[in-house]
Amino acid sequence: MTEKELFFNTENAENFVNSEDINNFLALSEEARKTLMTGTGAGNDFLGWVDLPGRIDSAEIKKIESDVKRLTPKCRLFVVIGIGGSYLGTRAVIEALQSEFAPFEQERKHPYIIYAGHTLSEDYYAQLMPLLDRYDYGVAVISKSGTTTEPAVAFRIIKGHMEKKYGQEEARERIIAITDAHRGALHAIAEQEGYSSYVIPDNVGGRFSVLTPVGLLPIAMAGYDIHRLIEGAHQAMQEYHRLPAQENDALRYAAYRNALYSKGYKVEMLTNFTPSLKYVSEWWKQLYGESEGKEGRGILPHSLSFTTDLHSMGQYMQEGERTLIETVVSVANSHERVQIPTDEKDLDGVNYLTGKSLTEINHCAERGTIEAHHDGGVPVIRIELTELNESSIGRLIYFFEYACGVSGYMLGVNPFNQPGVEAYKKNMFRLLGKK
């Protein structure tokens, strides 16, 4: 696919920053891009994601495809065990592409993906086990460090279940490990057991790892075309590496965020009018929150799904503290058409919508919302995808990743570390008496 599939628009943010400011921030975004591309900034040992879409190993893709082919006929369910960057990108892509009602589909060519290792809720696992009793399943256990408690605990429980259900030999066939090349407990287990394994490159941090086997294996297992996903990201990469800031959507996004932040806009609300984008928002929150929220700085990333949340958070968006930026991820075309039927009596008063599609109505809701929020003092940035498919999602992922690297450097932090994530772990280990 070569036509443009992501459109970036700032017309409803422009009156919140003057053009001189924006030009200064665009110049700063060029500087930050140079720092990123020359590898001269903080965290430069974690830049493996920057040119990743252009150099994904075809042997690795073939191995993924062969594991998918081998496990698909055997598995009704496929459990992805992982947390944070080892889970959110996968879920973002799969949920953006699959039907909201996928669990109810009777005829499925591919396993239905379910998740574990992202919570310590006992009830969650208690509810999961009967499903694993009932349905045939496979597992991908994903952890870069190979030592994270949540996935380690989940894997111990599920591995035990699997060995009981299928026997050790068959369980070994059904488990895939995705982890560090050399270190960590998961690496040791995978070696010892002889699981089909994949490496998470040293220089790609968790939240930037969706285009490594971390995301590619489960996304392919769910039946999606990872070649198109990579191609979308690759096209985005070529554009954002090359274009000058004025014409570069990723740099413009980074520039607007930082310009608005400097004026006191401290919260960015990522909104959508398409509920299947919920996990894109979750992934985006991790990407920006973990990359920028440090040293007492950083825009707070938050998200809402409209029109649902207009009936819960709409009031705050319209009239709450004026420190909000809104970034709308909009989808121009739906895959299906559902029209409003006519009704002879029109007791509900919606005959004026007869013949309109829900997308037309949803777009009017979006336009009305943007206008209202803008007029209420919220700068609104808009990102439009022509439709939801592997290629457009690949492009969106790279757009947000690249803008994040640039934006973090503009903010003056190391966007590629996450020292704060350790604090809760230390306390938890102390409370659990870990030696």
Stretch of residues binding ligand PA5 (CB under 6 A), selected from 26-34, 119-127, 144-152, 323-331: 144-152
Q: How far is the CB of 415 from ligand PA5 (least distance, A)?
A: 11
Nearest Cα to Cα of residue 54 among 329, 387, 402 = 402
**HSE-up of 408 (CA within 13 Å, CB side)?**
26
CB-nearer residue toward ligand PA5: 86 or 392: 86
Stretch of residues binding ligand PA5 (CB under 6 A), selected from 52-60, 83-91, 241-249, 361-369: 83-91
Interface with ligand PA5 includes 210 (CB under 6 A)? no
Q: How far is the CB of 126 from ligand PA5 (least distance, A)?
A: 23
Q: What are phi and psi of 203, to 5 degrees?
A: -95, 20
| 265-294 b/e (C-beta count within 10 Å ≥ 16 → b) | beebbbbbbbebbbbbbbbbbbbbbbbbbb
CB-nearer residue toward ligand PA5: 83 or 325: 83
Are 383 and 327 spatial neighbours (Cβ–Cβ below 8 Å)? yes
Q: How far is Cα 153 from Cα 120, in angstroms, rounded to an integer?
A: 8
Catalytic, 425? Answer yes
Interface with ligand PA5 includes 334 (CB under 6 A)? no
Q: How far is Cα 383 from Cα 386, in angstroms, rounded to an integer?
A: 10
CB-nearer residue toward ligand PA5: 16 or 416: 416
Q: Are strands 196-199 and 324-331 parallel, antiparallel or unpaired?
A: unpaired
Interface with ligand PA5 includes 301 (CB under 6 A)? no
Beta-carbon contacts of 93 under 8 Å, excluding residues fewer than 6 positions away, are 210, 215, 219, 224, 229, 390, 393, 397
Interface with ligand PA5 includes 215 (CB under 6 A)? no
* Structure-derived torsion over alpha carbons of residues 29, 35, 38, 39, reported in degrees to the nearest 10: -130
Are 395 and 235 spatial neighbours (Cβ–Cβ below 8 Å)? yes
Q: How far is the CB of 205 from ligand PA5 (least distance, A)?
A: 5
Catalytic, 290? Answer yes
Nearest Cα to Cα of residue 206 among 433, 416, 434 = 416
Q: How far is the CB of 292 from ligand PA5 (least distance, A)?
A: 13
Kindly tell me which residue out of 41, 53, 111, 151 binds ligand PA5, with binding defined by CB under 6 A.
151
Stretch of residues binding ligand PA5 (CB under 6 A), selected from 205-213, 328-336, 397-405, 425-433: 205-213
CB-nearer residue toward ligand PA5: 392 or 407: 407
Interface with ligand PA5 includes 401 (CB under 6 A)? no
CB-nearer residue toward ligand PA5: 214 or 388: 214
CB-nearer residue toward ligand PA5: 182 or 367: 182
Catalytic, 169? Answer no
Strand partners for 8: 383
Kindly state the helix (H) or strand (E) to which residue 395 belongs, with its residue range: helix 390-411
Residues 415-434: x where in contact with ligand PA5 by CB under 6 A, - otherwise, as a string: ---x--x-------------
Contact footprint for ligand PA5 (CB under 6 A): 83-86, 143-145, 148, 151, 205-207, 290, 418, 421
Active site residues: 290, 311, 425
